[in-house]
A and B are shown apart, each in its own frame.
Chain A
Amino acid sequence: QQQVKQSPQSLIVQKGGISIINCAYENTAFDYFPWYQQFPGKGPALLIAIRPDVSEKKEGRFTISFNKSAKQFSLHIMDSQPGDSATYFCAASISNYQLIWGAGTKLIIKP
């Protein structure tokens, strides 16, 4: 029940395309759903986050879609750029120390 399942494990998208990464969870007590972006040799950095009282949040080219009834949320990257190539982790939490991470998606944007 504490798992967050993330897919796909890896993703290759052409420059300008839409990248979509999906996550699913079981624990309905989760109240915070962040996405972290990690470049090689760097620590993760918060990209965008959502709470379950909204169905969508957009920040620039990045959008989280949240489906509370299906217990799923996804990250959409519009107009994907080579600089977006990184590993993306979804997560879910009740508190900061109970942050449950997805397995990660390695995204490659081809020029």
Chain B
Amino acid sequence: DTEVTQTPKHLVMGMTNKKSLKCEQHMGHRAMYWYKQKAKKPPELMFVYSYEKLSINESVPSRFSPECPNSSLLNLHLHALQPEDSALYLCASSLGGFTNTGELFFGEGSRLTVL
């Protein structure tokens, strides 16, 4: 199994809603990442979990709250988002820790629209 699975694929939410994005991998990877991607732009790193601990937070607003319940799961909790937060949210994983170099395996992403 070489997949990173993200749910939901599409999400529409109002600015007062609370929702969550979910990510799962069963490759035994020890680092998991959240990226945000706007149209026609490269992915932007948001958070990194390494060995289930939050290791990197790229100055992301607190309306985005990550959670890593175990080594296979990664969540992104969303609250009081703004329309400019509409984007494709990508989860990725890597075999080694976040300080190593190597292949990042990406999920298909969750397309978020904030109304």
Per the CB 8 Å criterion, the residue count for chain B at the interface is: 28
- Interchain nearest-CB distance for B104 vs A (Å): 6
Q: Which residues of B contact A104 (CB under 8 A)?
A: 40-42
In the complex, the answer to whether A103 meets B109 with C-beta atoms within 8 Å is no
Given contacts A42-B109, A43-B90, A43-B109, contact A96 B104 (CB under 8 A): yes
Q: Which residues of A contact B92 (CB under 8 A)?
A: 43
A-to-B contact residues, CB < 8 Å: 31-32, 34, 41-46, 49, 89, 91, 93-97, 99, 101-104, 106
Question: Can you list 20 A-B contacts with CB-CB less than 8 angstroms, sorted by A residue number?
Answer: A42-B108, A43-B106, A43-B107, A43-B109, A44-B90, A46-B103, A91-B42, A93-B101, A94-B101, A95-B99, A95-B101, A96-B48, A96-B98, A96-B101, A97-B33, A97-B48, A101-B43, A102-B42, A104-B42, A106-B40
